[in-house]
Structures are given as structure tokens and as C-alpha cells.
Structure 1
């Protein structure tokens, strides 16, 4: 069967529609990881994904009668675009069943290529079940996204190109896994010709169907899968891809959402291309594997498999990338609700770069402040935690708390019966290390801070929203104080949004 894959790969029809993608050196990642990192740029293809290879190869080998009836596929998006693109080239009808969670960008891509979109279920497996029903009902020809020898062979041409482009030593190739078609094809080719090269499969921790199946020595069907990396959200891998992976894949590495976001940022810094989460999966796995195994001076290749990213998701990716890169730590610090405590806390921050400082008075005795800080490495997290505890501030590390990072950091606040005589002001100040501490040190301790929100957005100016409790008899003195600060400011006490939510 292995020789059969070699023949299928060498005689594949992918180059009717695909050009050889580049294998590029990643100098920044190489220097940081002390290894030679290369990126196989499958995001450069016409549908911005490797899936075009397998889809077209399968359809180009259909009989005229099969093509005439039309084709159907189930896909989270990239295979769908590959099938629609191929159908248009081959002059046949294409019906694509996609999960309801599929990004709009991929749905629009399928329709742009002439595909008929049917949305069904929350994952690939749900869409697949519905596609099987439609296949029988409308007598269409099914084009499987991964568990088909022609599809596997089409994806295997990536391995053929890698060996052609880099005939020198290669220590490992990192391959993202959903259903397993890509890694089966690459492994089947590479291991026949260069068995010394390690093939490492990369999956998300919450969608590790292949890794868990190989470990169990049987195909498992996961009850639920994570949807952030929607292109690899597969509950059960293919029967044939499982067989090939079990024979040829050397190891697996699992990564989380933050690591994927960090990898998207890494590849953007190298190439100025924005990968989708599944497209950055191999890079995330490469980084983790190299660090865990302390690899040095090795040649490591990551397949950047796709770039069909919904633009709106970039907000989330940008937020989480610094955590994944160990550039931001998030804490809740507790302190007595008493005058002077706030200043003592800010003094303990020193000149560290603050990324977020979020507080709302809510208890008469104890205050809880949500703090984000820039760090240089993961080792800084424990050091900071110990530092704050020594300074007398009980500390809760939220850096790995999913709910805190996704929701709570934006929800600190609310109405408070304790915020009597509150004045709300918005300030801007030049953004530089220590600027927040200097701003806070200029605040008069005679007026209690009852609300505070600051978030570093990477701009030249920091933006702060401050609530202070000012008795009516102090209004004039407070206005003079605000004007004397010298910062651009706006009174927001009468803003209807403040009245509605805070």
C-alpha cells in the first residue's frame, strides 16, 4: 500500500490547478528557538489552503458519468472551497454541507466559486452525516475531505515538494491534523524516501482525535471538539488516515488556543500573512516541541496550511497572542478598601509596563483589582506573584484561566451602592513605561477612587476612565485639581452609558 501511495502522489493531477508553494526560512523564529525554522506556505494557493490539492486530484480521477451527476462534500470550509473551485474548473455541480459554526469568509468563498452551500450541525462530523443523506437522495458523488486515497495522495504532493525544495538534512516536519489526510499523505511519501525525518502531528488539546486514537490503538469518536481551530474540529479521524498515521507518524504534540494565537502572530511577523487558527497549528506545535525537547541547531519545517481567517477574529487573536507568547500575565490583586491602599499597590508595580488595570468599588472592606502586566518569559509569572504577596497583596494568577481571559477582564465593574458622589472622568496620557504609576501618583488622596479602567492598546497614548468620590462641597477644588493635572480630560458623569451600566 505504501508503494501505491508513492505512485499515486507521483502521478497526481494537482498541478493542473496548483503551483509549487514556497518553502521559506523564518529568521525571527529561528533566532528565538535556536533552530532553523522553515515554513511550507500552503496559504499561498488560490483558495488559501492545501485542500485544493486533494479535492482536485480526487475529482480529476472521477469518471465522466460521476462528474456529470455532480459532487457533494462535507467540510468546515477549506475542503469546501477546494471542491467548489475544482468543480468550476471541471464543469460540474458542487453541493457543500458545512457546519453552522463555519466562518462567513469560508461560506462566501465557496459561493464565489459556484458551490451550493447547505449549513448543518456544529462540527464537521455533523455536516458529514447530513451530506451522506443528500448524497443518496440526489445521487451525487461524494468527495471525502480526508479519508480517500486520491485525496491523501493529493495532499502528499506537499511532502514531494518539500524534499525537492530542501534536499539537505531535515530533522522534523510538523503537520496539522484534523481528519488526517494531510499528515497521511506527507508521511506516506516522506517515510518511503527519507525515513530519518520525523513526522510530528499537531492537534489542539480539545480536538485531539488522532493522537488519542493512536494511543488507544483504535479510532475514537470524541463527544465534543473545540471550535477555535475550526479547520481541524473533527470528532473522528478517517479509517485509512488512522492506518497510515499509526504506521508512519513519529509523535504528536498538543497545543492550546493561546499558543495558536501566538503562532499566528509569529507567522505574521515573518511573512506579513495572517493564518487561520488551523493554518498556524503546525507552527504552534513546532515551538512547543522544540522547547520541550530542548532542540538546538535542527532543521524544522512547519506546514502553514491555510489563511481563511475571518477578519473579526483578529481582535481575539491579538488579545490572546501575548499570553501565548508569554508576553502578558494576568492577576487579581486583593487589598484593603482603605485610603492609600490604591497608591501602595501602584507603587508595588514600579516601572513595569501595565497592559490592563481594572477596578470597581464593590465591598466596604476589601478591593479586588484586575491587573495585566507585560512579561519577558513564563518564569516572570511566579516571580511577580511572589512579589505581590511579599508586598501584602493576596494574589490570584489568572494567566491560564480561560473564563477570566475571555470574559471577566471585560466585565469588571457594575453599579455600586458604595460609589456615592462619584465623578467620572476620561483622561489621556503619553504611553511609556511607568506612565500609569506617575498618573496615579498625581491623584489627590483626599478623593477616593471608586472606578478605574485602563487597557494598553499599543497606541502612543493611554486611555483611562476614572471614578472619584467627591463630596458636593469639594466640587470647585476638584475641578481645579483636574485642570492642574495637565492631561487631556473629559467629564463623563452625565454620559448615558455611564448611567446605564455603571
Structure 2
């Protein structure tokens, strides 16, 4: 820790980075009942804190290494940080990015003078290629987090926070991907103010640091979720892990809905659009405040980046209300008879309906997909469900059902009569031409496709719901072929939303 603090105090970042403000979040502070402060790293020249670590690393290079140039692998903010840092110092920079990288990110790197090499479908493939080029051309690899100078550069954020807020701080919440930002901030804060908590925040589906701390050693996750792509790291860093293990007070996990709600909170207070990873620490702060009550000092979150793809806004807006527990999604079973629809609406009374999906189905029962706006989630949800059950309605809460929120709510009414042996999968496809064709070619023509739903969410990977007719006797062979294909998937054949609204 002492060596890291020394490096932080000697870091070179302000040739290109700026000292960002620590702004109060007035509305959220009123809701929580404590001062909430947001460190505005979205105001950096590349709209992300990554410029600090990248510049400090490159600025430390000897003349021979500068002359040879630098290389990195990244599809996001680190790529822009390396490109701008190298441009400022007059150094050649090569950035290897997956072929799936959106053009807006590729264009941003080129704008800062970086030479872009597109290789592979995934970060791992791009990373391996960058390492090959590093060795072949004698370049210096600039790691996004697992480097002492990168960690030190990110740690300068902590120096600014403690200068800007000399009053008590109960906790500083830091997003974690590989752990460079958390390691740098925790080293400085615990050296100067050990009473201040430093709490890491990870997505629930990309919690590599928490997994490492729980296991007592670095582990490799089988897969990571990609909504918060800025922190989608399968393994904690070799240098960052021991610092985070020894210095962090805890690691909090946040799901997609909580991040979307935090993006909305930042927008309402600051009128800025944080990217999912940029709002991650605030999602953790809110979870902590709800769990722990009134804090003894300020709560600080880091707005780590604002490189938001515009296409994602629809998805964020849809999920924010659920994440804030301001919307309740229900599947309700009502009698399929004249007047039952009106009676059900009457039961809802004056509550605001955010969504209502219904289609006639033969038989004695009908299923309705309904969204309701909540004022007091803690009590109102239980009250609504209890009242509907008391009146004899079958009710299932779908507010936490990923398949229902991503797909089924847009497909209600699409039943297929006399369909047998249907298997339903929720998959992630790379957002690139030919991804679906590769899936179909890999699966083969032995099984009939019965259902397909896709919506663009502005991410590098698309979310797809696909159904196929696969007899029970053939499922072992099917899953063997699907596993070999390599696309992440979840079997949703038993999902309640699918069963009620889509199954024949």
C-alpha cells in the first residue's frame, strides 16, 4: 500500500486529465436522508477516468520504449485513453478491438490518432492478438488495470476527493472491473483516512473480484454479463486482487435494473447520461444506504464514465422503473368469460397502469401481463398481490424475471397451437452480420425453429429468445452441439412468463 501511495503522489496525469468536481446529488440526498456526492469523471476529455491510468503509464516510458510505440486491447474507454495519451506525447498507439465493436467506439479511437486493428469476436481474442503484435513489433503493452502505474493514475481520484471533502466521509463506492480503480482509491484512502470505508461494486453477473475474495484466490468466471461492458472482466487482476482483498471493506453486487435506476438518478440530478458501468457505484451506494440506514458522514460515488450508446436509452428507460421498484410486473390469471376483463380492471382501481397485454385464448382461463406504477414499493407491492389473490386471481410477480422483461412482454399473444417438444433458450449473439447464420449453421438443420425474438439494446451483444422443437430423446445431442458452438445461453423452457403467455 505504501508503494502504491508513493506512486499516486508522483503520478503524471494532469498534462491531459482534469481535476473533476465532487458534486452534490440534491434530490437523491433528500430521498436517502444523507449527503450523496458524485465524483464527475464523466467530465474527462474522453468522458472516463481511464485517461488517468493510461497517461501515467505511457508518460513513465523510457525514450526507447516511446520510440517503439504502445499497444492495448480494448473495446471501450481504455482504448480512447491510450490513444489520446499517446497522441499528446507524440507516440504511436495501436489499439486492437473485437470486430463486434460499435463504430462509434472505433471512430473515437481514430479521432485521437490511434491505429485500430479489428480482430476476433471477443475481448479475449483481441487481447491475444495484441500480445502477439506486442512481441512481434517490440511494442509496450498498456494494460487496462493490472499495472502499478495504471493503478497509481486511477488513485489520483482519491487525492482529489479527500481534498474536496475534508469533512467526514462514511464510504466511497468504487466500480470494479479488473480492480485498478478500486486498488488505487483504496490504497490512498486507507493510508490517509482508515476510518472511511471503501466499498467495491460489481455487476451481479460479472463479479470476478468478489468471487476471488470469497475463494481466497483469483478465479476465472465461465462467462460475464455484458450490460455494463466497461466492467465485464472474467478475472481480477494479479496486482489488483491482493490490494482489493486487503483494503476493501466489502464488495456489493448490483443487477441491471439497479444500474438503470442509478442512470436515471444521475440524469435527474445532473442532467448527464452515465454509461451502465459509470452508474454502477451509485447503484451500490443506494443498496448500502437502504441496508444500513442513516450514515455518519457523506456517501461518495464515482461517475466513472459517460460513453453511453444512444441505442441503449430505450432499454435503460424501460428497466429503470423496475430497478427503482417503481413498477410492478405481474402475470395474472383471469376467467376467460364475458365481463372478466372489466372486473379485473375495476379491481386495479385508480392505480397507474404502465403496460397491459392480453389476447384471447381458448379455454376457461386467460393470462394478462400487466405493469403497475408504484408509489411505495415496500408496502404497495405486497398489498396489490395480496388483494388480487384474495379475490381469487392467480398472480405471479415477474418483476425480477429477465426473460419476461427482455422478451415476453413484447410477445404476449403469440401462442402456437399443437406445438410439441418446444425447447426455449435465452442466448447472447455478437452484434455483427452473420451471427444468427453462424448459430443456425452450428445447430444444424435437425431441429425446427419455432420462436425467435430479438431487440437491439445498443450493446456489443444482442439478447435473443429462440425456440426449437427438440424431442426429449434428442436433447443430449442438441445441448452437446450448442455447447460446442460457444454462445452463452440459459434454458428458459420452464420459465413462468413463457409458460403463461407463449407456450402452445
Counterpart position of 2:198: 199
- Give the Cα–Cα distance (whole angstroms) in 2 for the partners of residues 338 and 402 of structure 1: 31
- Give the Cα–Cα distance (whole angstroms) in 2 for the partners of residues 19 and 391 of structure 1: 60
User: What is the deviation of 1:365?
Assistant: 1.9
Give yes or no for contact 1:124–1:233 (8 Å, CA) kept in 2: no
Counterpart position of 1:293: 292
User: What is the deviation of 1:356?
Assistant: 0.5
- Give the Cα–Cα distance (whole angstroms) in 1 for the partners of residues 371 and 99 of structure 2: 35
- Give the Cα–Cα distance (whole angstroms) in 1 for the partners of residues 329 and 368 of structure 2: 11
TM-score where L is the length of structure 2: 0.80
After superposition, where does 1:119-134 map in structure 2 within 5 Å? 119-121=118-120, 123-134=122-133
- Give the Cα–Cα distance (whole angstroms) in 1 for the partners of residues 15 and 6 of structure 2: 17
Between structure 1 and structure 2, the one with the greater Rg is: 1
User: What is the deviation of 1:415?
Assistant: 7.5
Which shows bigger deviation, 360-369 or 20-29?
A: 360-369
Please tell me whether residue 350 in structure 1 is matched to residue 349 in structure 2.
yes
Secondary structure of the residue aligned to 1:15 is: coil
Please tell me whether residue 393 in structure 1 is matched to residue 393 in structure 2.
yes
After superposition, where does 1:5-24 map in structure 2 within 5 Å? 5-24=4-23
User: What is the deviation of 1:298?
Assistant: 3.1
TM-score where L is the length of structure 1: 0.80
After superposition, where does 1:275-354 map in structure 2 within 5 Å? 275-296=274-295, 298-354=297-353
- Give the Cα–Cα distance (whole angstroms) in 2 for the partners of residues 338 and 238 of structure 1: 60
User: What is the deviation of 1:332?
Assistant: 1.0
Give yes or no for contact 2:170–2:296 (8 Å, CA) kept in 1: no
Please tell me whether residue 381 in structure 1 is matched to residue 384 in structure 2.
no
User: What is the deviation of 1:136?
Assistant: 1.4
CA-to-aligned-CA distance 1:339-373 (integer Å, 9 cap, x gap): 01111111101000000111111223211111000
Give yes or no for contact 1:221–1:236 (8 Å, CA) kept in 2: yes
- Give the Cα–Cα distance (whole angstroms) in 1 for the partners of residues 338 and 350 of structure 2: 22
User: What is the deviation of 1:320?
Assistant: 0.1
After superposition, where does 1:4-403 map in structure 2 within 5 Å? 4-121=3-120, 123-296=122-295, 298-376=297-375, 377-403=377-403
Change in CA separation of 1:126 and 1:244 when aligned onto 2, cut-off 3 Å:
farther
User: What is the deviation of 1:123?
Assistant: 5.0
Counterpart position of 1:422: none
User: What is the deviation of 1:100?
Assistant: 4.6
- Give the Cα–Cα distance (whole angstroms) in 1 for the partners of residues 164 and 125 of structure 2: 39
- Give the Cα–Cα distance (whole angstroms) in 2 for the partners of residues 28 and 367 of structure 1: 42
Give yes or no for contact 2:174–2:281 (8 Å, CA) kept in 1: yes
- Give the Cα–Cα distance (whole angstroms) in 2 for the partners of residues 343 and 329 of structure 1: 20
Give yes or no for contact 1:95–1:118 (8 Å, CA) kept in 2: yes
Secondary structure of the residue aligned to 1:171 is: strand
Change in CA separation of 1:10 and 1:297 when aligned onto 2, cut-off 3 Å:
closer
Secondary structure of the residue aligned to 2:223 is: coil
User: What is the deviation of 1:324?
Assistant: 0.4
Please tell me whether residue 412 in structure 1 is matched to residue 412 in structure 2.
yes
User: What is the deviation of 1:297?
Assistant: 5.1
Counterpart position of 1:464: none
Give yes or no for contact 1:34–1:297 (8 Å, CA) kept in 2: no
Counterpart position of 2:483: none
User: What is the deviation of 1:105?
Assistant: 3.0
User: What is the deviation of 1:241?
Assistant: 0.4
After superposition, where does 1:409-488 map in structure 2 within 5 Å? 409-414=409-414
Secondary structure of the residue aligned to 2:344 is: helix
Which shows bigger deviation, 251-260 or 106-115?
A: 106-115
User: What is the deviation of 1:379?
Assistant: 3.2
CA-to-aligned-CA distance 1:399-420 (integer Å, 9 cap, x gap): 0000000100011123799xxx
- Give the Cα–Cα distance (whole angstroms) in 2 for the partners of residues 304 and 209 of structure 1: 21
